[in-house]
């Protein structure tokens, strides 16, 4: 089964970037990346009942880490993950 996750930036400032993420517009969680400490924190879980929250969070974290490396800290407004 293929999984698609949309990530949309909802906040960015000097130290933090926050994305909402999930399989659709109604089923979303929120994840925060601290630019200074390089730590990631899940603010809200997806809870769609089909796929584990840990899987969604893992995929979102992977995308953020890749973005930090590949985009040199520039965070796009929208990103997607396909698994």
**pLDDT value, residue 52:** 93
Q: Determine the pLDDT at residue 1.
A: 66
Low-confidence residues of the chain, pLDDT below 70?
Answer: 1
Domain ranges of the chain: 4-82
C-alpha to C-alpha distance for 48 and 14, rounded to whole angstroms: 32
pTM: 0.93
Separation CA 27–CA 71 (nearest Å): 27
Give the pair of three-digit tokens for residue 9: 């930036």
Q: What is the pLDDT of residue 83?
A: 81
């Amino acid at each position: 089964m293929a999984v698609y996750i949309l990530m949309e930036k909802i906040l960015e400032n000097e130290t933090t970037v926050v994305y909402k993420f999930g399989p659709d517009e109604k089923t979303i969680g929120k994840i925060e990346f601290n630019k200074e400490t390089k730590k990631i924190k899940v603010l809200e879980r997806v809870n769609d009942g089909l796929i584990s929250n840990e899987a969604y969070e893992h995929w979102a974290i992977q995308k953020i880490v890749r973005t930090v490396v590949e985009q040199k800290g520039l965070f796009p407004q929208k990103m997607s993950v396909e698994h």
